Protein backbone atom coordinates (compact mmCIF):
# COMPACT_ATOMS: atom_id res chain seq x y z
CA UNK A 1 0.00 0.00 0.00
CA UNK A 2 2.81 2.40 0.86
CA UNK A 3 4.49 1.91 -2.51
CA UNK A 4 1.27 2.58 -4.40
CA UNK A 5 0.65 5.81 -2.44
CA UNK A 6 4.26 6.86 -3.06
CA UNK A 7 3.92 6.22 -6.79
CA UNK A 8 0.67 8.19 -6.90
CA UNK A 9 2.34 11.06 -5.04
CA UNK A 10 5.30 11.22 -7.43
CA UNK A 11 3.01 10.94 -10.46
CA UNK A 12 0.88 13.83 -9.22
CA UNK A 13 3.94 15.96 -8.46
CA UNK A 14 5.35 15.14 -11.91
CA UNK A 15 2.11 16.33 -13.50
CA UNK A 16 2.34 19.50 -11.40
CA UNK A 17 5.88 20.27 -12.55
CA UNK A 18 4.94 19.38 -16.11
CA UNK A 19 2.02 21.81 -16.05
CA UNK A 20 4.23 24.63 -14.79
CA UNK A 21 6.91 23.97 -17.41
CA UNK A 22 4.40 23.65 -20.25
CA UNK A 23 2.46 26.72 -19.11
CA UNK A 24 5.42 29.08 -19.08
CA UNK A 25 7.57 27.41 -21.72
CA UNK A 26 5.01 26.71 -24.41
CA UNK A 27 1.43 27.82 -23.71
CA UNK A 28 2.24 31.43 -22.74
CA UNK A 29 3.39 32.07 -26.32
CA UNK A 30 -0.20 31.63 -27.54
CA UNK A 31 -2.27 32.49 -24.46
CA UNK A 32 -1.16 34.02 -21.19
CA UNK A 33 -4.58 33.50 -19.53
CA UNK A 34 -4.42 29.78 -20.40
CA UNK A 35 -0.92 29.59 -18.91
CA UNK A 36 -2.12 31.29 -15.73
CA UNK A 37 -5.06 28.87 -15.57
CA UNK A 38 -2.71 25.92 -15.92
CA UNK A 39 -0.58 27.27 -13.08
CA UNK A 40 -3.63 27.80 -10.88
CA UNK A 41 -4.64 24.20 -11.52
CA UNK A 42 -1.07 23.05 -10.80
CA UNK A 43 -1.18 24.95 -7.48
CA UNK A 44 -3.97 22.67 -6.26
CA UNK A 45 -2.09 19.44 -6.99
CA UNK A 46 0.60 19.48 -4.20
CA UNK A 47 -1.85 19.62 -1.25
CA UNK A 48 -3.97 16.89 -2.85
CA UNK A 49 -0.85 14.80 -3.47
CA UNK A 50 0.16 15.20 0.17
CA UNK A 51 -3.30 14.03 1.30
CA UNK A 52 -3.11 11.03 -1.03
CA UNK A 53 0.38 10.10 0.20
CA UNK A 54 -0.45 10.45 3.89
CA UNK A 55 -3.88 8.87 4.10
CA UNK A 56 -4.22 5.78 6.23
CA UNK A 57 -4.81 2.55 4.42
CA UNK A 58 -6.93 -0.29 5.78
CA UNK A 59 -3.84 -2.40 6.57
CA UNK A 60 -1.78 0.45 8.06
CA UNK A 61 -1.05 0.42 11.77
CA UNK A 62 -2.13 3.66 13.38
CA UNK A 63 -0.04 5.24 16.12
CA UNK A 64 -2.28 4.14 18.99
CA UNK A 65 -3.35 0.71 17.73
CA UNK A 66 -1.99 -2.21 19.72
CA UNK A 67 0.63 -4.18 17.82
CA UNK A 68 -0.20 -7.55 19.37
CA UNK A 69 3.13 -7.81 21.19
CA UNK A 70 2.34 -7.23 24.90
CA UNK A 71 5.87 -6.15 25.81
CA UNK A 72 6.05 -3.66 22.94
CA UNK A 73 2.57 -2.31 23.70
CA UNK A 74 3.49 -1.88 27.37
CA UNK A 75 6.68 -0.04 26.39
CA UNK A 76 4.82 2.31 24.01
CA UNK A 77 2.10 2.94 26.61
CA UNK A 78 4.80 3.89 29.10
CA UNK A 79 6.33 6.32 26.59
CA UNK A 80 2.92 7.84 25.82
CA UNK A 81 2.19 8.31 29.52
CA UNK A 82 -0.60 5.76 29.61
CA UNK A 83 -0.62 3.53 32.65
CA UNK A 84 -2.19 0.13 32.30
CA UNK A 85 -3.59 -1.42 35.44
CA UNK A 86 -1.33 -4.20 36.61
CA UNK A 87 -3.07 -7.49 37.28
pLDDT tens per residue across span 4-54:
888 999 999 999 999 999 999 999 999 999 999 999 999 999 999 999 888
The model's pLDDT over 43-63, given as tens digits with 9 standing for 90+, comes to 999 999 999 888 877 666 666
Q: Where are the chain's structural domains?
A: 2-59
Q: State the Cα–Cα distance between residues 54 and 9, nearest whole angstrom.
A: 9
H helices then E strands: how many in the chain?
4, 0
Amino acid sequence: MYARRRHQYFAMMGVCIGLFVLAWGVVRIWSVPAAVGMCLFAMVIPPVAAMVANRRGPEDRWWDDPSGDPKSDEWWDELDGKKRPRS
